[in-house]
Structure 1
Amino acid sequence: MYLTRHRTPDGARWARDGRFLPRGLKLSALLTLPRSAFLAVLEALPPGEAATGDLLPPVEPEQEVWGSGVTYLRSREARKAESTTADVYEKVYDAARPEIFFKSAGWRAVGHGQPVRIRQDTRWNVPEPELTLVINAQGEIVGYTVGNDMSSRDIEGENPLYLPQAKTYNGSCAVGPGIHVATPDDLTDLTIRLEIRRGGEVVFAGDTATSNMKRPFQELVDYLYRELDFPAGALLMTGTGIVPPDDFTLAHGDLIRIAIGDTVLENTVA
């Protein structure tokens, strides 16, 4: 089952497998339900007309997107290389507690085909392709989407306490195009690919798989939901295993293409 969110003259509207669902349906309301009830309601809803209208990010304004860091060995090595305090990344990679951080309010996220940005006060910026979990209010994984955790490596490298500025700014969070309804077992060995084009030419490409992650998905969710409630559910980016070389930085006009399986999220750097 695949959910998409569309712009219509009457406001945002959800679709299931390319057919509109009833007007007024909200993902945040569905995510108040346990997973079994969430699935039952979605399956019972009558399909409407074929979905039309531009795709919107598959997250609602009142929801939140969070991030995880140093969940792949490649990410640990890249963060150590960029940082003046490299040992903190070594420690978090080996620690019981993962790195979890706030990424974006739902209303600030952008979707497939919409522009992402690099900060004006930076010189070293990269996309971070990440499988992004969709989680209900009870902390159960109900699906996933594709995420781009745009990051300013020079800001974070200068001081780890600058992480919020490196990660959270206008145009720094892209998710989409839609949500695959799935169980955690469906996510254990998905291929993630990144391609960056500049002037029509590929300037970087790389791939990894979720099987290379150090931490199970549910472990990341459990830490996010410790002492923190999400009555409307949440999205959680699960870290990156693809990092461009140290001499690469994004430029205005670059096309970022992230694929997880057959699902592709594309954004241009504005």
Structure 2
Amino acid sequence: MRIIRFLQEGSEPVLAALTDQSEVYLLGQTDFMELVREAEVRQRTTLELVQETIAASEPLAVKAEELELLVPLEAAEVWACGVTYERSRDARNYEATGGRLDTTTFYDKVYDAERPEIFFKSTAARTVAPDRDLYLRSDSNWQIPEPELGLVLSRDGRVVGYTIGNDMSCRDIEGENPLYLPQAKMWKGSCSIGPAIRLAETVEDPYAFQIVCRIFRDGEKVVEGSASTGQLKRRFDELVAYLLRDNTIFDGTVLLTGTCIVPPDDFTLADGDRIEIEIGGIGVLANPVRSQAKGSLLV
């Protein structure tokens, strides 16, 4: 069972259930965490509450692909993890050493350390919905998407759902100096999530998600890669525990869990590209890419 948000009649955001048969049922809430909290009050699981709503209603006479999707929840904060896959470690080493993979770096140390890398990625106002423009940073010449599974967390750190995240990154800025990480990771239009939230209780094995990333240029597919969350170095509960350590999080915080799909080292995103990230059981998060003038405002 998946949960989506969309604009009803072009103006009002609504929450809906999207079944595995692609039927859309309106729910009585407008916010995903409101749905989770209401289920708790009624002493139901979120899935049970959704199923009760579906049983008492009819599906909309519309196809899911015809809807104007919003972010599935307005996450006050999006955090992200780095170097959680071996492929990510190798890519970071390549950036930091200019291709000298025989050199040990701090990325090797983080990969093997007890403490994971966790950094602040985005806010609700900065996070882009499906099919909306992502933006290239104007002072970077080496930019890529990072397709990631996102954990939707309650304020006490429970995983209540899974979504897809695009952690856009500037490889040249991060490789120049690790202290530049916030600039390499966070700018206007550098993060998207969606298109849906898969209820956690409907996922038998979260380490069996299959992830595919495709990049299209002028209508032609120029990059495609695939991976599985089974390749993760760290466990989800481990990442969440470190995020919660001496920290306060909000209901609906999203934690991106790192990437295992990295485009070739000679590839960089360009204006007009289209990124598609697919995770089986969740959907396809697609976003066009646009350049931006220095000092322009994202609206």
TM-score by shorter chain over 0.5: yes
Instruction: Quote the residue 1:19 is aligned against.
Output: 25
Identity across matched positions, percent: 47
**Residue identity in the other structure for 1:128:** E
* 1:178-233 per-position Cα deviation (integer Å, ceiling 9, x unaligned): 11112464311111111111111111111111100000111111111112222423
Counterpart pick for 2:69 among 33, 49, 55: 55
Q: Kindly state the Cα deviation for residue 39 of structure 1 after the two structures are TM-superposed.
A: 3.9
Measure the CA separation in 2 of the matches of 1:108 and 1:13.
Answer: 20
Query: Contact 1:28–1:63 (CA<8 Å) still a contact in 2?
Result: no
CA, structure 1 residues 169+47, in 2 after alignment: closer, same or farther (shift >3 Å)? farther
Instruction: Quote the residue 2:265 is aligned against.
Output: 246
Q: How many residues align?
A: 268
Q: Which has the larger radius of gyration?
A: 2
**Residue identity in the other structure for 1:11:** E
For 1:52-201, list aligned pairs within 5 A: 53-60=67-74, 63-84=76-97, 87-183=105-201, 185-201=204-220
* 1:102-154 per-position Cα deviation (integer Å, ceiling 9, x unaligned): 11112221121111111011100000010111111221112111111100111
For the residue of structure 1 that corresponds to 2:108, the secondary structure is helix
Which shifted more, 69-78 or 109-118? 109-118
For the residue of structure 1 that corresponds to 2:160, the secondary structure is strand
Which stretches in structure 2 are left out of the alignment for 5+ residues? 19-23, 98-102, 291-299
Which stretches in structure 1 are left out of the alignment for 5+ residues? none
RMSD (Å), alpha carbons: 2.2
For the residue of structure 2 that corresponds to 1:164, the secondary structure is helix
**Residue identity in the other structure for 1:241:** C
Instruction: Quote the residue 2:286 is aligned against.
Output: 266
Which shifted more, 209-218 or 41-50? 41-50
Instruction: Quote the residue 2:293 is aligned against.
Output: none
TM-score by length of 1: 0.91
